[in-house]
Amino acid sequence: MHIHRYEKYWLMFGGGIIIAFIVALFVNAFAMGMTPPSDLQRVDPKKVEQTAPFDKPGLKQVGPNEYEAVMVSFAFGYNPNQIEVPVGSKVTFISTSKDVVHGFQIPGTNVNMMVVPGHVNKVTHTFDKPGEYLILCNEYCGAAHHMMMAKVIVK
Amino acid sequence: MTQEVRVDQKAAKLSLSYILVAFIGFGIAAIAGLLQGLDRAQLITLPTWLNYYQILTAHGVLMGLVFTTFFIEGFLFSGIARVQNGKLTPLGLKLGWVGFWVMLIGTVMGVITVLMNDASVLFTFYAPMKASPFFYIGAALIVVGSWIGGWGMFAEYRNWKRNNPGKFSPLFLFTAVATMTLWQICTLGVAAEVLFQLIPWSLGMVDTVNVLLSRTLLWFFGHPLVYFWLMPAYMTWYLIMPKIIGGKVFSDSITRLVFVIFVLLSTPIGFHHQLMEPGIDPKWKFLHVALTLSIAIPSLITAFTMFATFELAGRAKGATGLFGWFRKLPWKDARFFSLFLAMLWFIPAGAGGIINASNQLNQVVHNTIWVTGHFHLTIGTAVALTFFCVSYWLIPHLTGRKMTRTTNELGRLQAVLWSIGMIFMSGSMHTLGLLGGPRRTAGTTYMNDPTALSWIPFHKLAALGGAFLFFAAMLQVGLVLYLAFKAPKGEQEYPMGDVAEDAAETPRILERWPVWISVAVILILVAYGYPIADMIQNPPPGAPGVRTW
Ligand code: HEM
Ligand SMILES: [Cu+2]
Ligand SMILES: [Cu+2]
């Protein structure tokens, strides 16, 4: 098939950029360990309250400046709906859903994951600035979806 | 092929029926769109009997499924008739009509359940939110109807091949077949979800649903769906536009190649909608990310081809210098002007797509209203403006009327209003998304949260854009009705480009559908085979259905 000379240059240029993107994303994900939230654990959505760690939702210190926040998502809220951590804390949010699919997002950070019934999902973030952070649900989950929220207070 | 080929009465009636339903759906959806924008900006409060998610479902279903699918079926049937001396075969016509009625029944069922607030699950119908079974059955009928129409087009293709052994099929017919082939492959995902999971479960025959599998099957179809919208727009750009600007189709083989690449690469990339999801190994996600980025290649080829077509047409009219051809383009012709704006909008839209597809950047924008801004540029502008522009000449051609000077001017005004509206609406949505504003969320301040309060000015700008879009939409519906029923009688040309004489010979392999379909199936098996088999064999604990609205 005949391809015009300029078109060849254009495709080499564009194709080269795309390959560069793919390589950068590969290195980023697998060499630097920055894969998106993709936890593989499961939990029965009908038995969330009886299953560890969701039987005891809340904040747990797991190291110096390191916390785990176990937060159950449901229509239309999170349990607990407020946590407090000191500045500089590295917090791993762990969540599952008791009913439908929810989102878990903190505007102004890269915390953004799906919470799907039957599955556990996790995301980690270090809070370097004090303030009140909003946690919101960004996946439509029903009539009061726009009220589904929680707060992280960083002091 | 002579200039004066007219689509005959029978084919015209079929095509026009599809297109009128498309624009009625579009008009209603535009009203919903305006209300949504105003609600989010807190400029209005919706009455208690009409909730945000209900109108959002109506908007999404009517715009995303009804407007697009009906328009595409109607347009492709008309073009297939146009390249076959204006005629469709009796079998093609019959399948076209059966498809039309099945789709219409499905649409009515869907719309009624949405109006009764029994199906506020959005057009993505995410389980385990459980809608009325009629909603799922309606959606299934829309898809099945579109298949039947597609079989009509395959019948036309078979017939053509039989009558012209050893020859290349007309380009329009080939690209229409490519579009419908993609559609038949990808809708298998959503059909499986609806038939085997959602309908039995919503009827109460099974208690729980495998949510991960349902989402995976949905997105198996969800991304190729956007290419199903885009391919007819590309058909217009590649095949119709050259005729309008007085040029030639740049290259037969490149056009076929681009459409074949879409058929191959559109389906095995669905995980890029599930990047933030649990239950899927990051390695599988990455495979889909890499394939997704590769699909930028046909768009790069298209960008080159479009400018090459412009330049060659301009030079043929005596343009000189590096950019002299630019002034030779028919800017005063609405049939071209809208198309040009559509193509222009596709440039930022495509750049946004690359951002969405990148697995880490996606974490910043996933499920934020950035995504809504992105697809209002791609399908809501690049595709929609192209369809508007097709309607300006196609409808009078089908009804034996003429596009007048005034319709031409109003058509150009429409494209300008639409573009201004999108600058405000899509621009604000992109900004809000970067700030973390969620999509699919009614007007809210999250109990006066300072972050959410700071977003309100952008929501107001988006609503302003929505108002422009609404006026442009009403103007468009008015133009469609005028051109269909009131415009003066006359002849309106169906522009169909001829291939440039000096274009090189097309390689035989491009017309070998069994080869391409096999490659497509293999790619799908590689990308989806293991994950889907695993989800079925080791299912996550099932989720009972709930109605949360
Ligand atoms: C009058 C012009 C339009 C206006 C004012 C408008 C406005 C909107 C708004 C405000 C949203 C909701 C944002 C959110 O809460 O996430 C939305 C969603 C949407 N729009 Fe439009 N839009 C228009 C035209 C279009 C067109 C032409 C299309 C496609 C052909 C389209 C397809 C969609 C879809 C698929 C959704 C998402 C529904 C869902 O999330 O399930 N819109 N639109
Ligand atoms: Cu939620
Ligand atoms: Cu929600």
* pLDDT digits 0-9 by tens, B332-370: 999 999 999 999 999 999 999 989 988 888 999 999 999
Cα A103 to middle of ligand 3, angstroms: 6
Number of the ligand closest to the Cα of B440: 1
B496, part of any domain = yes
Q: What is the mean pLDDT of residues B164-189?
A: 94
**DSSP assignment letter at A149:** E
Predicted confidence (pLDDT) at residue B2 exceeds the cutoff of 50: no
B266, part of any domain = no
Two tokens, residue B244: 């309008």
State the average pLDDT for chain B: 93
Q: What is the mean pLDDT of residues B96-124?
A: 94
Which residue has its alpha carbon closest to ligand 1 atom 34? B60
| Residue among B40, B372, B377, B414 whose CB has most ligand 1 atoms within 8 A, to mutate | B372
Q: What is the mean pLDDT of residues B516-534?
A: 95
B305, part of any domain = no
B402, part of any domain = yes
All residues with CB under 5 Å from ion ligand 3: A 137, 141, 145, 148
Whole-number pLDDT of residue B221: 94
Predicted confidence (pLDDT) at residue A1 exceeds the cutoff of 80: no
B236, part of any domain = no
Predicted confidence (pLDDT) at residue B504 exceeds the cutoff of 90: no
B6 lines ligand 1 (CB under 6 A): no
The residues pairing with A124 across neighbouring beta strands, listed in sequence order, are: A92
B129, part of any domain = yes
Least confident interval from A136-145, B59-68, B124-133: B124-133
Residue B481 in contact with residue B48, Cβ under 8 Å?
no
Residue B268 in contact with residue B525, Cβ under 8 Å?
no
For residue B404, give the amino acid letter: T
B440 catalytic per annotation? yes
B133 lines ligand 1 (CB under 6 A): no
Rounded to two decimals, what is the model's pTM? 0.95
Given A3, A118, A145, which is nearest B543 (Cβ)?
A118
Residue B354 in contact with residue B378, Cβ under 8 Å?
no
User: Is the CB of B304 less than 8 angstroms away from the CB of A136?
Assistant: no
Instruction: Give 3-state DSSP helix, strand, coil % of chain A, rounded to 5.
Output: 25, 40, 40
Pick from B474, B394, B444: which is nearest to B29 by CA?
B474
B76, part of any domain = yes
Instruction: Indicate the pLDDT class of residue B513, thresholds 50, 70 and 90.
Output: very high
| Residue among B51, B56, B59, B219 whose CB has most ligand 1 atoms within 8 A, to mutate | B59
User: Is the CB of A35 less than 8 angstroms away from the CB of B282?
Assistant: yes
Whole-number pLDDT of residue B503: 65
Instruction: Indicate the pLDDT class of residue B1, thresholds 50, 70 and 90.
Output: very low
Whole-number pLDDT of residue B3: 54
B32 lines ligand 1 (CB under 6 A): no
Least confident interval from A25-39, B6-20, B246-260: A25-39
* Domain boundary pick from B140, B156, B172: B156
B157: left (phi over 0), alpha (psi -120 to 50) or beta: alpha
Strand ranges for A1-128 from DSSP E: 58-63, 66-74, 77-79, 82-85, 89-97, 102-105, 112-115, 121-127
- Please name the residues between 82 and 111 in chain A that touch chain B, using a CB distance below 8 Å: 99-101, 103, 105-108, 110
Is A27 part of the contact surface with chain B (CB cutoff 8 Å)? Answer: no
| Element (DSSP H or E) covering residue A153 | strand A149-154
Q: What is the mean pLDDT of residues B199-214?
A: 94
Least confident interval from A34-38, B186-190, B339-343: A34-38
Is A120 part of the contact surface with chain B (CB cutoff 8 Å)? Answer: yes
Q: Residue B29: give its domain's CATH number.
A: 1.20.120
Residues B208-224 as b/e (b if ≥16 CB within 10 A, e otherwise) read bbbbbbbbbbbbbbbbb
Query: Closest approach of chain A CAs to the CA of B398, in angstroms?
Result: 37
Whole-number pLDDT of residue B460: 98
Predicted confidence (pLDDT) at residue B463 exceeds the cutoff of 90: yes
Q: Residue B363: give its domain's CATH number.
A: 1.20.210.10
Number of domains in chain B: 2
The 10s digit of each residue's pLDDT in B248-275 is 898 898 899 999 999 999 999 889 999 9
User: Is the CB of A25 less than 8 angstroms away from the CB of B358?
Assistant: yes
B246, part of any domain = no
Q: Say yes or no: ipTM exceeds 0.95.
A: no
Whole-number pLDDT of residue B502: 66
Predicted confidence (pLDDT) at residue A152 exceeds the cutoff of 70: yes
The residues pairing with A97 across neighbouring beta strands, listed in sequence order, are: A73
Which structural domain range is residue B337 located in?
A: 330-510
Predicted confidence (pLDDT) at residue B28 exceeds the cutoff of 80: yes
Cα B547 to middle of ligand 2, angstroms: 13
| Cα–Cα distance measured from residue B237 to residue B249, given in angstroms and rounded to the nearest whole number | 10
Q: What is the mean pLDDT of residues B495-514?
A: 84
